[in-house]
Structure formats: C-alpha cells, structure tokens
Amino acid sequence: MNTQHGASPPTILVLNSGSSSLKFGLFAHSGDDESLLLEGSAQGIGRGDGSLRIAAPDARVLVHEQHVLESQTDALQKLSAVLAAQHYAQPTAVGHRVVHGGPHLRTHQRLTPEVRRRLQDAVHFAPLHIPPALALIDEAQSIFGDAGHFACFDTAFHATLPPRAAQLALPRRYADAGVIRYGFHGLSYESLVAQLGAALPPRAVFAHLGNGSSVCALRDGKSIDTSMGMTPTGGVPMGTRCGDLDPGVLLYLMRVEKLDADALETLLNRHSGLAGYADGESDMQVLEQRAAAGDANASLALDAFATAVRKTIGGYAALLGGIDLLVFTGGIGEHSAEIRKRICEGLGFLDLCEGDASGKVRAVHTEEEKQIARHCRALLRG
C-alpha cells in the first residue's frame, strides 16, 4: 500500500547486507505477521556485472538496472529514490542484518552510538561483512533519520550453544577474549523455526546452503551445534571460502609462502572453497553443468561439498540421537535437487530419503527479511 491509495501504514524497511550484495524488503504489519510491500536486491556490488532489481509482491518489476552499483550505499540511495517516486511513506523503522557483533552483541537491539562503537570494535571477527554493514548503517541513518534503526545479528540464534560446542580447544583466556564458536545464518534458521511452528519436531537439522553455507543442529527449536565457528569462514567448504582447515596449513602458508594476515584473508575467503577445487568457478549451476559435461574438477567440487555437508549432518544425527526432520534452505539448498540428492544418498541409515513419504526431508524458502521485520516490530513495541 502507498499514499496513492490512502494513508500509508507504518512500515519497516529491512536491509540484508552481504559482502557484495544487498537484499531489502519493505513490510507492513498485517494480521499477526509482517506483509511484504516491496522487495529487491543489488547484486555484484563493486563489479562490472552489478544489477539492481526492485519489484512489488505481485512480481511487477519497478526497477531493473545493470552496471550501476559502486557500493551498497549507492544501492540504498537508488532504493530511497524509488520509494519516493512510488509515493511510499518514510519507514517507521529500519532493520539491519549484521553478520557478527562480536562477544558483546548477541541479541537483536536498537542501534545506538554505543552499539555502533561495539560493532566497529568487532570488525576483525568478520572483516568482509562488518565494514560494508557499518557504511550502510551510517547511510541509512542519514537518509531515514526519523526512523528507529535496529541491528539483528546472525549470531544471536546460536547464543544457546552449550559450552562444549561454543568453547574452542584453546586456553581459557582466548574464550574470555571472545575467541569462541558463534555460528551464523541465525536469522535464516530463526525464519525456518517460525515457518515450521508446531510442525518442528524435537530433533532437527537445518542446512543453509548458498555462496556461504552452514549446518545447524536443533533440539526443541534451539541451536545446540553449528558448523561455522568464530567467523563465517569455518565449517563446510563454500563458494569461495575454505571452511575448516588443519591449522598446520595456515602455519605452512605463513612460513613457506610468507603470507601475512591480509594475504591469508584473501586466500581463505575469496579464492578457496568450490572456487579452489574448480579453477576459480564458484557458481553451483555452472559447476553442475560442467560436471555433467565431464569436467573432473567441477565433479570434485560437487562431491567434496556434498560429502562435507553429509558428514556434518551425520555427526549431528549422533549428537541428537537421530533426526526427525532435515531442512534445506538457501540458494543451493532450496534450488539444487542434485546437491540435495548427493547429500541424502549417504544418509539412508537415518531413514532420510529425498521426497520420501515420511516428509523427513524438506526444502524451504528462507525468509530472513521477514524475520528481521518481526524483530524490529517487537523492539518498537518495547
């Protein structure tokens, strides 16, 4: 609804910031949940193949531009202009997805100067994600100055991790300094819990598989273990991130190749994972096509990825004492039947079978933006 058709309802603008992308949604409260008014995404930010797409819920495209995005703030400015052109009222609140808040920010909360300072202090926990998120927060507060601004953390869902899962096998002083397992994709997992509601069984495993991928074990809807660690680099191999490594590999790279911290950061986060296996290619659809055409490196990437996810699920089955429901989400988890098949092929001992009559395996669309809107509405109400 917009002002062309009467008074606008109080709206919440959600900004879902990634390392090179920005997704967004405009929501109004309807009934007992949030209703989508507008959605879109900016992809390829900072690259020549950038694009901006904004659409109404009926799929009517309002904006579709190519090669326009120098930064997330550039994308946000264009979004603001579209909202004004379409006569949408200024949002009452703006919700920001923040990947990592460090050890001191583990709950969704209003963005205050103190919260922003703590976010700045936590940059080293997620150097790919937090700097663009901070720049976006500053720009959003400038554009939407009358709105309340809220930070929703991907790590918040995993605050329920028991010490055996959260604490790393390092001296206690490192845990005291915040060197622990935080876990990520929490807003995605929260949205799945909300969607499943009473249908969520006691023992569940969620797999958010995309350019960034993680797996989470849930007991009674609470996270008790997850594959990512202190940063989003850990866990299963991802599009360009290595996932878990023998720490000795890092020592080798430092001693033999003389890589410093910045060089290691670039190698582990931008040139590893599926891209490392497949000569720089990280797009799952392309890899599946190449593998089908006989490309051995692409086949290796698919096999290594599916095997890592399957091993993690199997480990969580042992932790939970069985699995009542396995849910796939994320761009790969939701859309790649091939990857789901490869993962599930080795899980027959759990009576998990893709598409089986028991309904123990499901692919569910994540609703991160709606989940953020829900949190913002609750925080507005106090």
- Residue 12 belongs to domain with CATH number: 3.30.420.40
Look up residue 379 and give its two tokens: 């925080």
Alpha-carbon distance 45 to 51, whole Å?
A: 8
Query: How many angstroms separate the CA atoms of 16 and 152, rounded?
Result: 10
Residues 304, 246 share a domain: yes
**Same domain assignment for residues 140 and 178:** no
Domain carrying residue 316: 161-185+197-363
Give domain status of residue 261, yes or no. Answer: yes
pLDDT at 3: 42
Answer yes or no: do 136 and 168 share one domain. no
One domain for residues 26 and 175: no
Residue 140 falls inside a structural domain: yes
**pLDDT recorded at residue 14:** 98
Q: What type of residue is 52?
A: L
Considering the domain architecture, whether residues 108 and 171 belong to the same structural domain is answered as: no
Q: In this predicted structure, what is the pLDDT of residue 92?
A: 96
Q: Closest Cα partner for 326 from 194, 186, 183, 207?
A: 207
- pTM as predicted: 0.93
Do 213 and 345 lie in a common domain?
Answer: yes
> Residue 353: what pLDDT?
62
Q: How much is the pLDDT for 8? A: 58
Q: Is 154 a known active-site residue?
A: yes
Q: Is the dihedral of CA 313, 319, 323, 326 positive or negative?
A: negative
Q: How far apart are CA 288 and CA 284, in angstroms?
A: 6
pLDDT digits (tens, 9 = 90+) for 131-168: 888 999 999 999 999 999 999 999 999 999 999 999 99
205 and 327 co-located in one domain = yes
Residue 373 in any domain: the answer is no
Spatial separation of the C-alpha atoms in residues 153 and 133, rounded to whole Å:
11
3-state secondary structure of 190: helix
Element (H, E) at 77: helix 72-85
Contact yes or no for 223/345 (Cβ under 8 A):
no
**Backbone dihedral angles phi then psi of residue 48, each to the nearest 5 degrees:** -70, -20
Q: What pLDDT score was predicted for residue 71?
A: 86
Ranges of residues in the chain whose predicted pLDDT is under 50: 1-7
Q: 267 and 145, same structural domain?
A: no
Query: How many domains in the chain?
Result: 2
237, 243 contact by CB (below 8 A): yes
Choose among 224, 236, 194: nearest CA to 320.
224
Catalytic residue among 74, 138, 146, 154: 154
Residue 168 CB: number of other CB atoms within 10 A? Answer: 13
Locate tokens 């790649």: which residue?
Answer: 336
State the DSSP code for 158: G
In angstroms, the CA 381 to CA 109 distance is 12
CB 23 within 8 A of CB 369: yes
